Copies of this chain bind each other. A is one copy, B any other.
Amino acid sequence: MERSTKNKLIWTAAKLFQEKGFNGVGLNEILTVSGVPKGSLYHHFPNGKTDLALAAAGFVHGEMTRIIDEAFGEATSYRDGATTLFHKLAKLFELMGKHSACPVSHILFGEPENADFQKRTSEVFDAWIAQIVGHAERLGETPDAARAAARHLFVVLQGGWTLARARQDSYELRRLPELLFDG
Contact = CB atoms under 8 A, between A and B. Distances in A.
Contact-residue bracket for chain A: 35 or more
A103 interface: no
A112 B125 contact: no
B183 A152 contact: yes
Contacts of A162: 102, 105, 155, 158-159, 162
Interface string A171-183: 0000010111011
Contacts of A149: 183
A163 B125 contact: yes
Contact of A179 (B113, B148, B163): B148
- Chain copies in complex: 4
Given A20-B112, A112-B99, A148-B179, A122 B155 contact: no
Contacts of A14: none
A160 B76 CA distance: 28
Contacts of A20: 23, 112
A159 to B, nearest CB: 3
30 contacts: A19-B112, A21-B21, A21-B23, A23-B23, A23-B24, A24-B110, A24-B112, A99-B113, A101-B109, A102-B162, A105-B162, A105-B166, A109-B165, A118-B166, A122-B166, A122-B168, A125-B167, A148-B178, A152-B179, A152-B183, A155-B155, A155-B159, A155-B163, A156-B156, A156-B159, A157-B159, A158-B159, A159-B159, A159-B162, A183-B183
Interface of A: 19-24, 99, 101-102, 105, 109-113, 118, 121-122, 125, 148-149, 151-152, 154-160, 162-163, 165-168, 176, 178-180, 182-183
